[in-house]
Structure 1
Amino acid sequence: MASLPTLPADTQTRADALREALATRVVVADGAMGTMLQAQDPTMEDFQQLEGCNEVLNVTRPDIVRSVHEAYFSVGVDCVETNTFGTNYAALAEYDIAERNFELSEAGARIARQVADEFTASTGQQRWVLGSMGPGTKLPTLGHITYAQIRDAYQINAEGLLSGGADALLVETTQDLLQTKSSIIGARRAMEALGVTVPLICSVTVETTGTMLLGSEIGAALTALEPLGIDMIGLNCATGPAEMSEHLRYLARNARIPLSCMPNAGLPVLTKQGAHYPLTAPELADAQETFVREYGLSLVGGCCGTTPEHLRQVVERVRGTAITERTPRPEPGAASLYQTVPFRQDTSYMAIGERTNANGSKKFREAMLEARWDDCVEMARDQIREGAHMLDLCVDYVGRDGVADMEELAGRFATASTLPIVLDS
């Protein structure tokens, strides 16, 4: 059995201090990483012939990565994100280096840790490291990769980040709720294996369409993710602050846990020189100051297109500000991939469609036994049209492989139905 990696001796102490800071005052994180790395024009040799794999720079050009962290700490941010957005199975597998997950994760965290400690010592202001866990390039909900495979890979990712000195784990830019869950569970398993508890932050990405990439509304994301024990939920990437406002308003009214926001510098404008992000530093600072006041944010920062100057002005406006007290009024409910359904209905009862139950419906059972999966899905859709609020799914039948049947049908129902699924076994 391979031995577990070791942690820096003061990991828990730093993590506890960060948790206390997030609970009492506004903490400021950094901004864009990738564009600042690319601006230093690394060579193909720096990339080890893996063009565009920024995470390889953690081992070949730590000086470049270090310089980005230094630029952000120099303008006064409280914490920086590690250069590990792509140290996950799906992204690294595209370069045929999936086995370097732990190595690159640990190296990225170690660089950020060293810079954070230097600034802590020189300024007397505690600086922290957020271990970035990106979404990868495969969507498990659509069958691109299995949940178990990426969950286990995210555990390795998180163990590397913690071993390198991360003070928190940031599951960020998530686009698929099943991928998000795999990241969170992988991070939790890493903490359990290493005997440490650090803040676990989850940041989802809502597109200009008003939903996540696969169509999930912010309410579905909150209902699905908050029960997993995350310490904070928020938004990052895809849009600027203007497009995030209503989603933050929903979170402020319904989330029981602290909130974060790391927007892009506006919506990108395509030019001959590539994408240009138009939001100025004062405009980002104005927006974040408003969000802190109106929505009670605990963690703010920037994403694509934001620079040290953007964050310098955010720091001037909000760092150290007491968190605006919220009084959330969450409504209990269940979520599908697409929407949340409150347990309290306008009608006098909640209707759970029972026709997709192998024990209660002969028609459904026969379709299942004959592997007529499309017919099974159509039966679910019939119940949606007839007004069901949720769908019961039971595949239990003597002599059948219930696990295989449930995987087949639950996966199909998740994308074919907008309703929450009641797994009945």
Structure 2
Amino acid sequence: MRDFIETINSRVVVYDGGMGATLEQFDLSSEDYGGLPGKCHEALVLHRPDVIKGVHESMLEAGADVVETDTFQGSRLKLDEWGLGDHTVEINTRAAQIGREAAGEERFVAGSIGPTGMLPASDDPTLGNISFGKLVEVFTEQARGLIEGGADLIIIETAQDILEVKAAVLGAREAFKETGRTLPIQTSVSLLPQGGKMLLGTDIQAVLTTLSALDVQVIGLNCSTGPGDMRDAIRFLGEHSSVPVHCIPNAGLPIQGPGGETIFPEQPDPLASMLQEFVERYGVTIVGGCCGTTPDHIRAIAERVKGREAPPRPKDAWAAHLSSMMTATPLEQEPRPAMVGERVNSQGSRKAKELLLADDYDGLVQVAEDQVEGGAHLLDVCVALTERQDEADQMREVVKRISLTQPAPIQIDSTEPEVIKTALEQIPGRAIVNSINLEAGRAKADTVIPLARAHGAALIALTIDEEGMAKTADRKVEVAKRIREIACDEHGLDPEVLIFDVLTFTLTTGDEEWRPSAIETIEGIRRVKAELPGVKTSLGVSNVSFGVSPPARAVLNSVFLHHAVDAGL
């Protein structure tokens, strides 16, 4: 019985080559495409399945272990452009069936999901004008057809916008629920040849952070360039990805032929030699070809790498990171601690409140930028206002604009699950959700934790339960252990991204009860770190000195911060 995960964990696997380049060998007419003007390759699934099967068979004969379905443009959004949207499930199902007929029971069929042409993270009035929820629906429909047709895995490929990849992953998982069949997910992004970033500026560190947080099974690169331009990114993935890495390049950068045709110039042997090097030097597990690669390219690749033992992967080498759309940020800074900018916060900043009331989003972006320039590693965003009832809409607008302009990851600060969901669906990277507690029992936590988990977000938890705020170190640890059990043991959240705020209380109340509170907080940090391995801690440090004169406040904050960091903050 074939098992894709078992196979890639044991040996190097070879994918097929480019569908388009191989189809050029066939003398296809407009009738073969169902009378459509132009070449919609997905239409061949319905009108010339023999041709598609022949392409698959030529790749398998050349040595491919995996064939990709002829569904790269198989989403409803793309098929609508050809008038085929109502055939979406049929085309994807039939494509997977054709792949299965060719591959038999020993080799694999990867259900191909390409980009929709939309860029949901962008501010383009046309390309960015689609909701995350709509994209999830589109990808769910396509994935359902691929699953029902017998695909062994889903490959989300040639991605230009990391937010669209997130939607595709969630869509595939929704299809798993609908069909009762769970498949491995392989995610593949395309980097521009100049600069090595995705189209909207996402670097490879952010790619790895965002995708590994989504618990996909394979991460890598395809299309856009030949293997040479992928080298630095592939080296990085090989060193840091805890899941298998793939490299599926074009046959070089395209050039224009004498007749105006597009030519991919890289010959089989040079391409295969470089992929062999990537396997040997960087631990790449899956190799194959994209645009311009033919069965000859696949044969040359297979001769060099097929059957080699799969390289070992580093264990969780990149777990404790967050990401913006642009880049990644370690949760554990050196020196500690990570600093959270809290000025884009309607509850703590009069300026932010005024800007929100005036719909001055450019002003809010400037506040965020000032904090990043001042040393903030993360940006807390809170837009709740008693004067307005559109918190979710404002949150969407603010986090979108910050994501497009600022390199710092976002901390979503809201008590409303629907607002948190809205933010998570708009943030391209790996965010922090701030926060959960057990003050009213666990109902809200049981809603928010799965949201964070589904989007790969980190989560702040306050040590508050039904008895109120935990004041002593013993109580802080007691509540933290209960939350960890719910979040990690029950919901599967990685402890590395569970962050406990053990609460800071003001020392100047005059109440004897609060006199030892700072010491209890410091001890709470120390014990949470010791008794709950892997978790992180956070603190609103300046709360300790509320009401103290400014000169004394600076001293008290510094002393408190020093001891908190020493305890493990």
Question: TM-score, normalization: structure 2?
Answer: 0.69
Q: CA deviation at 1:134?
A: 0.4
User: What percent identity do the matched residue pairs reach?
Assistant: 38
Three-state SS of the structure 1 residue aligned to 2:216 is coil
Q: List gaps (5 residues or longer) in structure 1.
A: 1-12, 121-125
CA RMSD of aligned residues (A): 1.5
For 1:131, the equivalent position in structure 2 comes to 111
Alignment deviations for residues 391-411 of structure 1 (CA, whole Å, 9 cap, x no partner)? 111111224221111111111
For 1:378, the equivalent position in structure 2 comes to 366
- Whether the 8 Å CA contact 1:391–1:419 is kept in 2: the answer is yes
1:229 has 2:231 as partner: no
**Structure 2 Cα separation of the partners of residues 21 and 282 of structure 1:** 26
For 1:201, the equivalent position in structure 2 comes to 186
- Whether the 8 Å CA contact 2:20–2:292 is kept in 1: the answer is no
For 2:11, the equivalent position in structure 1 comes to 25
AA of the residue aligned to 2:158: T
Q: CA deviation at 1:39?
A: 3.9
**Structure 2 Cα separation of the partners of residues 365 and 255 of structure 1:** 41
Alignment deviations for residues 373-424 of structure 1 (CA, whole Å, 9 cap, x no partner)? 2222222122222222111111112242211111111111111212111111
For 1:141, the equivalent position in structure 2 comes to 121
**Structure 1 Cα separation of the partners of residues 351 and 31 of structure 2:** 62
For 1:10, the equivalent position in structure 2 comes to none
AA of the residue aligned to 2:109: V
1:106 has 2:93 as partner: yes
For 1:297, the equivalent position in structure 2 comes to 284
Three-state SS of the structure 1 residue aligned to 2:118 is coil
- Whether the 8 Å CA contact 1:394–1:423 is kept in 2: the answer is yes
For 2:402, the equivalent position in structure 1 comes to 413
- Whether the 8 Å CA contact 1:89–1:150 is kept in 2: the answer is no
For 1:389, the equivalent position in structure 2 comes to 377
AA of the residue aligned to 1:411: K
Alignment deviations for residues 141-162 of structure 1 (CA, whole Å, 9 cap, x no partner)? 1223221111111011011001
For 1:280, the equivalent position in structure 2 comes to 267
- Whether the 8 Å CA contact 2:244–2:313 is kept in 1: the answer is no
**Structure 1 Cα separation of the partners of residues 352 and 25 of structure 2:** 58
2:320 aligned to which of 318, 324, 332:
332
**Structure 1 Cα separation of the partners of residues 336 and 107 of structure 2:** 53
Question: TM-score, normalization: structure 1?
Answer: 0.91
Matches within 5 A, 1:186-197: 186-197=171-182
**Structure 1 Cα separation of the partners of residues 84 and 63 of structure 2:** 35
Q: List gaps (5 residues or longer) in structure 2.
A: 123-127, 415-569
Q: CA deviation at 1:44?
A: 2.3
Alignment deviations for residues 190-211 of structure 1 (CA, whole Å, 9 cap, x no partner)? 1122122222111111111210
**Structure 1 Cα separation of the partners of residues 28 and 352 of structure 2:** 58
Matches within 5 A, 1:43-62: 43-48=29-34, 49-62=36-49
Q: CA deviation at 1:363?
A: 1.2
Three-state SS of the structure 1 residue aligned to 2:344 is coil
**Structure 2 Cα separation of the partners of residues 300 and 250 of structure 1:** 16
- Whether the 8 Å CA contact 1:331–1:342 is kept in 2: the answer is no
Provide closer, same or farther for how the CA distance between residues 352 and 308 of structure 1 changes in structure 2, counting only shifts above 3 A: same
Name the count of aligned residue pairs: 404
- Whether the 8 Å CA contact 2:14–2:286 is kept in 1: the answer is yes
**Structure 2 Cα separation of the partners of residues 402 and 57 of structure 1:** 47
1:161 has 2:146 as partner: yes
Matches within 5 A, 1:245-256: 245-256=231-242
1:369 aligned to which of 345, 354, 357:
357
Q: Which moved more, 1:323-332 or 1:21-30?
A: 323-332
**Structure 1 Cα separation of the partners of residues 349 and 252 of structure 2:** 52
